[in-house]
């Protein structure tokens, strides 16, 4: 059992509407196998942020226990996704002098440089989640992807820094700890999703990822195989469900079922037929045309996609997205969403489903709503996926990953433990 467990990675997507746990491993040929999947309804979060500890803990336990039963293993550590509109990102630049006698750039020099990029003024309530190198510059020569082994005197880097509220990260940490598990790493959810649904050639030529969840819509822009812009906005699938609930005067569960079973993102795509809706508290059933349902859904999806368009424009890469947009997450499953996105964004658009899986429960996780969970385990097995180079702030304290890809003592976790010590 221990031999197997050492190779196992667990991804935990704590969403606003659901908690999803995915258990995976890789074989000697680096093929990814899904061993177990667990899903539990969640109402302990609001817009991606924990608002009820007990409800979130309960949902985490249910999801992981289901995945454990399916996989036949006991879970100890999880890689968890973080989202919420508190997440912000910005560009930074750092510079160090190479002190080696022979002038050869070492891994320690790169870590020193990345640490230098984090010396930026930030509010006390925010912490750095990721530092992702975009390019290195050696003695004025830009465009360097990996400077290790090169000769030089001056080493610079442009990096993408992603930050989040300390309290939001603390609460996620607390929930997982109270559920009886340890946090192996924390990953921004749009990054996690990107590992599962984007092709490497899309990331190279330029692509926008739009992950429409329940409480948040996560946006990430890629070009030249690295992330260029990230954003999380608090308008997502739950707003569509709320609109249906209010517009048709039905219960929330009914509204969600109507959206999933009969919804359409564009009125012209809705079939000319009626839906029977059971009446509330013994009242007579209602009959509603599917085009009426689409008239409620379309404006809200348009709003979500227009906000995404603003973020893509803000990134400065709107003209560089040759691969267009990839939509994923549960909110993208409404038929016609890709067509509506293409119209609003002015880009080619497709629905992103988890890829790169070769064995195990591949069919069970082929749905867009599992994109983040699958992406987290792919990252756990291949941590170098996070950027053009495998350097992250979790290496700055000298810790790394073990052979299985599980990152037991990452920097973010070390920092989080220090936050608790301060309480």
pLDDT in tens, 22-59: 999 987 777 888 999 999 998 888 888 888 999 999 99
Q: Which residue has the tokens 């330029």?
A: 206
88-165 and 200-354 share one CATH topology? no
Report pLDDT for 240: 95
Residue 372 has pLDDT above 90, yes or no: yes
pLDDT in tens, 46-102: 888 888 999 999 999 999 999 999 999 999 999 999 988 888 888 899 999 988 878
H or E stretch at 193? helix 189-197
Report pLDDT for 386: 58
H or E stretch at 54? helix 53-71
- The domain limits of the chain are 88-165, 200-354
Task: Give the confidence band of 384 by pLDDT, cuts at 50, 70, 90.
Answer: low
User: What does the DSSP assignment read for 113-167?
Assistant: HHHHHT-----TTEEEEEEEEEEEEETTEEEES--TT-B-SEEEEEEEEEEEEHH
Q: Give the CA distances from residue 231 to residues 86, 95, 157, 190, 216, in Å, rounded to whole numbers and listed in that order.
A: 9, 27, 22, 9, 10
3.60.20.10, 3.30.1490.110, 3.30.390.30, 1.20.120.1200: CATH of 88-165:
3.30.1490.110
Task: Compute the Cα dihedral for 407, 409, 415, 419 and give only its sign.
Answer: positive
SS3 298: helix
pLDDT in tens, 115-138: 889 888 888 889 888 888 888 999
pTM: 0.85
Residue 244 has pLDDT above 60, yes or no: yes
3.30.420.40, 3.90.580.10, 3.30.70.100, 3.40.50.960: CATH of 200-354:
3.30.420.40
Residue 328 has pLDDT above 90, yes or no: yes
Q: How far apart are CA 150 and CA 77, in angstroms?
A: 37
Q: What is the DSSP letter of 384?
A: G
């Amino acid at each position: 059992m221990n031999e197997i467990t050492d190779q196992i990675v667990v991804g935990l997507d704590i969403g606003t509407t659901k908690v999803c746990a995915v258990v995976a491993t890789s074989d000697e040929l680096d093929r990814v196998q899904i061993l177990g999947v667990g899903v539990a309804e969640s109402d302990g979060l609001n817009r991606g942020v924990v608002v009820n500890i007990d409800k979130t803990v309960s949902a985490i336990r249910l999801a992981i226990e289901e995945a454990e039963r399916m996989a036949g293993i006991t879970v100890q550590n999880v890689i968890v996704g973080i989202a919420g509109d508190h997440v912000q990102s910005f560009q930074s630049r750092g510079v160090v002098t190479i002190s080696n006698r022979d002038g050869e750039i070492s891994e320690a020099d790169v870590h020193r440089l990345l640490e230098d990029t984090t010396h930026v003024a930030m509010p006390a309530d925010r912490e750095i989640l990721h530092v992702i190198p975009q390019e290195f510059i050696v003695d004025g020569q830009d465009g360097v992807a990996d400077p290790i082994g090169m000769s030089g005197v001056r080493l610079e880097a442009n990096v993408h820094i992603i930050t989040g509220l300390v309290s939001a990260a603390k609460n996620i940490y607390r929930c997982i700890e109270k559920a009886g598990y340890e946090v192996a790493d924390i990953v921004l959810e749009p990054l996690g999703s990107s590992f599962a649904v984007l092709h490497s050639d899309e990331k190279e030529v330029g692509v926008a990822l739009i992950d429409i969840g329940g409480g948040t819509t996560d946006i990430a822009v890629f070009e030249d195989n690295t992330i260029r812009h990230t954003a999380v906005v608090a308008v997502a699938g739950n707003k569509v469900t709320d609109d249906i609930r209010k517009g048709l005067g039905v219960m929330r569960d009914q509204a969600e079922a109507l959206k999933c079973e009969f919804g359409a993102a564009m009125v012209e795509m809705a079939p000319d037929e009626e839906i029977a809706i059971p009446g509330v508290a013994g009242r007579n059933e209602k009959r509603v045309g599917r085009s009426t349902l689409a008239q409620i859904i379309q404006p809200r999806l348009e709003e979500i996609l227009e906000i995404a368009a603003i973020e893509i424009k803000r990134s400065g890469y709107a003209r560089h997205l040759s691969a267009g947009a990839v939509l994923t997450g549960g909110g993208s499953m409404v038929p016609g969403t890709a067509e509506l996105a293409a119209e609003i964004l002015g880009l080619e658009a497709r629905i992103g489903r988890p890829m790169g899986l070769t064995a195990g429960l591949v069919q069970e996780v082929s749905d867009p709503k599992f994109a983040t969970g699958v992406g987290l385990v792919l990252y756990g097995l291949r941590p170098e996926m996070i950027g053009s180079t495998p350097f992250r702030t979790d290496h700055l304290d000298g810790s790394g990953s073990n052979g299985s890809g599980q990152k037991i003592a990452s920097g973010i976790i070390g920092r989080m433990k220090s936050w608790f010590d301060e309480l």
